[in-house]
Structure formats: structure tokens, C-alpha cells
Amino acid sequence: MKGLWVTAKNELAILEMDEPVLGEYDALVEVYGCGICNSTDLKIIEGRLKQGTFPILLGHESSGKVVKTGKGVKHFRTGDTVLRARLYDKDITIPGGSSRFGGFSEKAVVTDVWARDGTDYGSFPHPQQVVPEYVDPAYAACMIMLKENLFCIRATGVRPGHSLAVVGTGPAAQAMVMGENTGHLPGGGIRAQAEVGGTIFASRRGPLCHG
């Protein structure tokens, strides 16, 4: 299979690699899409956040469909759309190579941590989750950023009637404002604004959040 690798500072290449060997609680995922994260992927490419040795396999915002499961897997089924399939350094057979975090590959792995730990699915938070069937697996990767926006809203205690200044001009900032305008983030009546390219995108209506 193929993966997208940083081979040196500001240099990318698609390299051939071996498929991962599944453990008892692992499921193999065919990757349909993977987002580029400015906080990790871009910085690794530019040499500002070098983690591991070159070549480095990128990607931690992946989505795809389960194609095979280990014998201990209970909560992932073949055909499920899942988030954040990844590869670990142990899965890398290219000499000197490392994974951060391996979602930019044709196939990657999710681990049924709930079955491994003998608990029910969702009994504790974990980034590798099943996505509803109606979500296109190629677009499901966008949900990762939206989940982070939702977590931010909940963690900071923003409430209806508050004003929210979104600092930044990237996809997460714009998604926050779009969520407010369409009412798809929880907690109504919050006003949000973000500066994008010299223009202020400001909401005129709520809700930003409803839950």
C-alpha cells in the first residue's frame, strides 16, 4: 500500500509500505479521507515540529471504512465508518521511518479499546469512534475538527447570550462561525466573529450552540 511521507524538510513523497499486522483488538480500515492539521502536519513538513526520524508518515484526521477485524473486536464491524485510524512506529517497515500518526495511508488501524478493557462502547472517551451510516466516509474526516470546536465550546463555559471572539483565520475558526450561522453548534444566542483576510465575519443570528 501507499502512504504520504515527509522525507526531509519541505519535501513530500508517496512511498510504498507494508500493510499493518492486526492485533487481537484491532480493525483494519480503508482510508477514504484525511485532513491536514496546521498544528501538526504542516509544522512537521516545515521542520517546525519534527517528531521522529525521517521519513515521517503524516495524518491524524483520517476517516474510512472497516474492512477486517481482529478476533477480539466487539464494537467495530466490517463496513463501519470510523474516525482517526492510524499507524504506530511498530507498523512502519521502512528503515528509519516513523509515524505521526499515519492516517495518510491507504490502510490504517483502529483499536477496540472498550473490548480490550472489558467495558461497554463509549464508557470512556476515545478518538477512534464509529460514525453514523448516513455520513459519507470521505467527508467524515471533517467531523474531527467540528468535534474539537464543540469540545472548545463546552470546555470554556460559553453560554447563550455570550459574545465569542474567534482568534484565527483557518478552517477551525471559519467552521466555528459557520456553525453559529447554521445553528449546528450547541448553546443558542452566542455571537461569534472571526477576522479572515481583513474581513470580519460576524454572526447576526443564533444559535451558535444548542444541545
For 86-101, write each residue's pLDDT tens digit: 999 999 999 999 999 9
Stretch (H or E) spanning 83: strand 81-83
Mean pLDDT of the chain: 83
Residue 88 burial (C-beta neighbours within 10 Å; 0-12, 13-18, 19+): middle
Residues 62 and 165 in one domain: no
Residues 92 and 29 in one domain: yes
> 108 and 185 share a domain?
no
pLDDT in tens, 131-162: 999 999 989 998 888 888 777 777 877 777 77
Res. 185 pLDDT band, cuts 50 70 90: low
Q: How far is CA 74 from the centre of its chain?
A: 22
**What is the residue range of 55's domain?**
2-138
Domain final residue, candidates 122, 138, 154: 138
Is residue 93 in a domain? yes
The verdict on 122 and 195 lying in the same domain is no
The whole-number pLDDT of residue 189 equals 46
Q: What is the pLDDT of residue 183?
A: 54
Of residues 42 and 3, more confidently modeled:
3
Most confident stretch, 48-52, 107-111, 165-169: 107-111
Same domain, 10 and 85: yes
Average pLDDT, integer, range 72-81: 97
Same-domain check for residues 36 and 132: yes
Supply the DSSP string of 52-73, one letter for each residue. Answer: SSSSEEE-SEEEEEEEEE-TT-
**What is the mean pLDDT of the segment spanning 35-64?**
87
Binned at pLDDT 50, 70 and 90, residue 179 comes out as low
pLDDT tens track for 11-44: 999 999 999 999 999 999 999 999 988 888 989 9
Domain membership flag for residue 181: yes
The C-alpha cell that represents 159 in the structure block: 453560554
The model's pTM is: 0.80
**Per-residue pLDDT averaged across 165-170, rounded?**
73
Does 173 score more than 50 pLDDT? yes
Quote the CA–CA distance of 197 and 176 in Å, as a whole number.
Answer: 16
The Cβ of residue 197 has, within 10 Å, a number of other Cβ atoms equal to 6
pLDDT of residue 193: 52
Q: Examine residue 78 and state whether it is found in any structural domain, yes or no.
A: yes
CATH code, domain carrying 82: 3.90.180.10
At residue 207, the pLDDT reads 36
Residue 86 and residue 102 in contact, taking contact as beta carbons nearer than 8 Å: yes
Asked if residue 209 belongs to a domain, the reply is no
